[in-house]
Chains A and B, each alone.
Chain A
Amino acid sequence: MGRQTFAWFTQPPAVGDPRLSKAAGFLERNVVALAKTLDHAARADETARRRGLLQKLDPRAKCVGIFAWILAAAATSRLAVVGTIFALAVALAVLSAVPVRTSLGRVWTGVLVFTGSIALPALFLTPGAPVCRIPLLEWNVTAPGLLAATRLVGRAETTATLAALLVLTTPWTHLLKALRTLRVPKTAVVILGMTHRYLFLLLGLARDYFEARRSRQVGRLDNAQRRHAATATAGVLLGRSLALSDEVFMAMRARGFRGEVHLLQDARFRTRDGLALAAFVAVAALGLL
């Protein structure tokens, strides 16, 4: 049912041929990509309910364990360590029935676009021996530049993958509760909870707006018009969702929410959770040696 509701996201825009106006369609395609990612986030609770390795673990053990790996990946200067943790994370995803191509693939492209654009200048600007030359621009890619860029992107991809794994294999409310038992401050947990709700709102709004806009659009828009429409939509969406998030918080307070998360079933910390946690921490420690 979810797939059907959001099917139009994945279809090409009804108006305008993307092949004809690549540059102008860029913004619109980005907004659509964002919407797809959000839709995906909306489905995280479905993967969280599947039977898999990580789903069986106590959320607290998972939080601490994955966080240890994130720390290791962020702190190490060795690419091999980052690469190993990345490979382990992908293996865990497979064992936890997390769809690697769709779920993680989306995270990977997203991170690549963002950090890639930050890392790109480093390729040329870091002083050092040139390894190759960009033909037309006559710019040199330096060896230290290449290393720095790879390290930046590799680290970002790995930490994002780990964070995605945690979110995709833990029902959201259980995750919040785990964070609270791990003494993460109430405010931070409330903000996280709100962000989650906020994403759903944004998704719903985005859908309504696109549908409304498409339904009123007749004929083909030129590039400038499409650019304008896409930016205008993004602006309106942001404004409206901010106003709504206020109301969401009110709605939570109205039903007695005071920053503490309460669940019907409290998780039990068993031996296997302890073992898994020890394994996580051991791998992280090895990486940092």
Chain B
Amino acid sequence: MKEWRLLYELRDLTYRYPEVTALDSVTLDIAPGERIAVLGANGSGKSTLLRVLAGLSFPNVGSVRFDGTELTEDTLAGETFAFAFRRQVALIFQNPDVQLFNPTVFDEVAFGPLQLRWPRGEIVERVQLALRQMEIEHLKNRAPHRLSGGEKKRVSLASVLVLDPDVLLLDEPTAALDPQSQSQMIDFLAENHGAKTIITATHDLPVVGDIADRCVVFDAGRVAADGRPDAILHDEALLLRAHLLYRHRHRHASGVVHSHPHLPGPHRHD
């Protein structure tokens, strides 16, 4: 019946923290190779969604399937599936501090391949390649927790790119980066990365067009809209409802107060 294989199938998925429902009956299909921007205000459930997609949190109600297999504690306890899944799906956390726990940058990048028991020689080669790719070779003997915010982000990216994952889950990848690193990161995401599926959580509307072919808007844990970036980004009413736009008051020299919607976040000038 299905015309193409789906990568992720979320069905009526609900995820609750003790006090809040972070995801509320979410139904979503994701095909291989899609580049999706997950938009939503603070607390709308973006990070929780990425954790579910990464097989780190499991729904209270409903289900999530990856490549046909349901993601549960049980399926991920099995070594064969867990290996294949962790190798294919990589998550970059919103807060790089939680992701970096090795004594040196080199060890940090080598951590994933070591866990997946790659041959040692290959590990060294691949780590060096990833360090070069992220332009952080000079940091390889430094302690990750003593790097700057932007450097930490690069290290966390290198530490998952080294596995050459098919699915990249990125939580606010441009937050806390200086304009140059930000635009490098966007170029990186915008470049053609083969058949990779890239799912990015962000509130940075101006970059969405560059990094995604599809937008899913979250509002209080529910899918508020799902469509092409140009359609979503021009739907002012929707963006206002989802708190992605705000009414900005300018006081001009004349003293007249204008009120009109504004895109939050820095605009990119190419």
Task: Report A's interface with B, CB cutoff 8 A.
Answer: 1-2, 5, 42, 45, 171-173, 193, 196-197, 200-201, 204, 244, 247-248, 250-258, 260, 262-264
Choice from B54, B79, B97 contacting A204 with Cβ under 8 Å = B97
Could you tell me if B56 and A255 are in contact, using CB atoms closer than 8 angstroms? Answer: no
- Contact (A262, B117) CB under 8 Å given A247-B98, A248-B98, A254-B56: yes
Could you tell me if A263 and B101 are in contact, using CB atoms closer than 8 angstroms? Answer: no
> Complex: how many Å from CA A252 to CA B56?
10
Q: Does B14 contact A (CB under 8 A)?
A: no
Could you tell me if A254 and B91 are in contact, using CB atoms closer than 8 angstroms? Answer: yes
> Complex: how many Å from CA A2 to CA B91?
29
Choice from A196, A200, A253, A260 contacting B56 with Cβ under 8 Å = A253
Could you tell me if B95 and A204 are in contact, using CB atoms closer than 8 angstroms? Answer: no
Could you tell me if B93 and A247 are in contact, using CB atoms closer than 8 angstroms? Answer: yes
> Complex: how many Å from CA A252 to CA B54?
12
Could you tell me if A42 and B98 are in contact, using CB atoms closer than 8 angstroms? Answer: no
Q: Shortest CB–CB separation between residue A233 and chain B, in angstroms?
A: 19
Could you tell me if B56 and A256 are in contact, using CB atoms closer than 8 angstroms? Answer: no
> Complex: how many Å from CA A53 to CA B121?
30
- Say whether chain A's binding surface is mostly helix, strand, loop, or mixed: helix
Choice from B54, B104, B114 contacting A254 with Cβ under 8 Å = B54
**Complex: chain B residue closest to A256, CB-CB:** B115
Could you tell me if A264 and B114 are in contact, using CB atoms closer than 8 angstroms? Answer: yes
Among A1, A171, A262: residue with most chain B CB under 10 A = A262
The residues of A that contact B104 with a CB separation of less than 8 Å are: 45
Q: Shortest CB–CB separation between residue B157 and chain A, in angstroms?
A: 13
**Complex: chain A residue closest to B120, CB-CB:** A264
Write out, one digit per residue, whether chain B residues 204-227 have a CB within 8 A of any chain A CB (1) or not (0). 000000000000000000000000
Could you tell me if A172 and B90 are in contact, using CB atoms closer than 8 angstroms? Answer: no
The residues of A that contact B87 with a CB separation of less than 8 Å are: 256
Closest 3 CB pairs of A and B: A256-B115, A262-B114, A255-B112
Could you tell me if B102 and A42 are in contact, using CB atoms closer than 8 angstroms? Answer: no
Could you tell me if A45 and B145 are in contact, using CB atoms closer than 8 angstroms? Answer: no
Task: Report B's interface with A, CB cutoff 8 A.
Answer: 51, 54, 56-57, 79, 82-83, 86-87, 90-91, 93, 95, 97-99, 101-104, 107, 110-112, 114-117, 120, 123-124, 143, 145-146, 159-160, 163
**Complex: chain A residue closest to B127, CB-CB:** A264
Assuming A45-B104, A200-B145, A255-B159, what are 4 further A-B pairs, CB within 8 angstroms?
A: A45-B143, A201-B98, A260-B115, A264-B107
Q: Shortest CB–CB separation between residue A121 and chain B, in angstroms?
A: 40
The residues of B that contact A171 with a CB separation of less than 8 Å are: 103
Could you tell me if B111 and A255 are in contact, using CB atoms closer than 8 angstroms? Answer: yes
> Complex: how many Å from CA A263 to CA B56?
24
The residues of A that contact B86 with a CB separation of less than 8 Å are: 254-256
**Complex: chain B residue closest to A250, CB-CB:** B56
Could you tell me if A251 and B99 are in contact, using CB atoms closer than 8 angstroms? Answer: yes
> Complex: how many Å from CA A252 to CA B107?
13
Q: Shortest CB–CB separation between residue B202 and chain A, in angstroms?
A: 19
> Complex: how many Å from CA A264 to CA B79?
21
> Complex: how many Å from CA A279 to CA B116?
38
> Complex: how many Å from CA A225 to CA B82?
52
Could you tell me if B114 and A251 are in contact, using CB atoms closer than 8 angstroms? Answer: no
> Complex: how many Å from CA A247 to CA B93?
9
> Complex: how many Å from CA A45 to CA B105?
13
**Complex: chain B residue closest to A197, CB-CB:** B101
The residues of A that contact B51 with a CB separation of less than 8 Å are: 250
